[in-house]
Amino acid sequence: MIAFTRAQKYFNQINTELLGLSVDSNSSHLAWMYDIYCRTGIKVSFPIIADRNGQIARKYGMIASDISNTETVRNVFIIDDKGIIRTILIYPMNVGRFIPEILRVVQALQMADCAKASTGANWLPNQPVIVPMPQNYSQLEERVESINKNRNGISWYLSFEEPPKKCLKSEEKECSD
């Protein structure tokens, strides 16, 4: 809760909202939020859903049934503006979430969608994207020529380009302290 609250401004900068889900009661959430504030001065500013019967958590596979019938694993769901789950990150109870990676995944999804391309392994904001595969032989020949001229790939099936300028607007803001 604290880490996500501290990073909330960065999520907001990339047009992302935070929402918590817990199998604990609303009273428990209020107590946590108050205790966090009293001990750290941090106000948790995103909503937390009280899923007392675990119905939502079960639908999303968040109950670690091999460990407990009520103990949740630490899941992160990245859901797009159309309500489609795009990424699920699952952390065991004893491993904390890594906020920079969650921010990077959101940015990679946004970039891939905007550029109509893919992001490669270890992709970071403002790095080149993978160009979609050629759809015909003529495009394949153009791709090979471009790679030979610009040294922007290893073969017709893997080449890179700078992201379109329109896709960089959400990435201009620095997303780390």
What pLDDT tens digit does each residue of the chain (177 aa) get? 999 999 999 999 999 999 999 888 999 999 999 999 999 999 999 999 999 888 888 888 887 665 555 566 689 999 999 999 999 999 888 899 999 999 999 999 999 999 999 999 999 999 999 999 999 999 999 999 999 999 999 999 999 999 999 998 644 444 443
- Both 29 and 66 in one domain: the answer is yes
Instruction: Taking each helix axis as running N to C, give the angle between helix 2-13 and helix 26-40, from 0 to 180 degrees, rounded to the nearest 10.
Output: 90
Residues 20 and 52 in one domain: yes
Residue 157 lies in a domain: yes
Residues 167 and 110 in one domain: yes
- Any domain includes 151: yes
Structural domain of residue 123, as residue ranges?
104-171
Q: What are the helix (H) ranges across 41-159? A: 55-59, 99-115, 137-150
Is residue 176 in a domain? no
- Given 60, 76, 97, which residue is the final one in a domain? 97
Q: Decide if 81 is inside a domain.
A: yes
The whole-angstrom separation of Cα 83 and Cα 171 is 22
Domain co-membership, 28 together with 81:
yes
> 121 and 42 in one domain?
no
Strand-pair partners of 77: 88
- The total number of structural domains in the chain stands at 2
Do residues 34 and 78 share a domain?
yes
- Domain C-terminal end among 43, 75, 97: 97
In a domain, 177, yes or no: no
For residue 51, what is the domain's CATH number? 3.40.30.10
Asked if residue 117 and residue 77 are part of one domain, the reply reads no
Q: Do 18 and 82 belong together in one domain?
A: yes
Kind of pairing between the strands at 158-161 and 85-91: unpaired
Clarify whether residues 133 and 165 are in a common domain: yes
Other beta carbons within 10 angstroms of residue 118's beta carbon come to 16
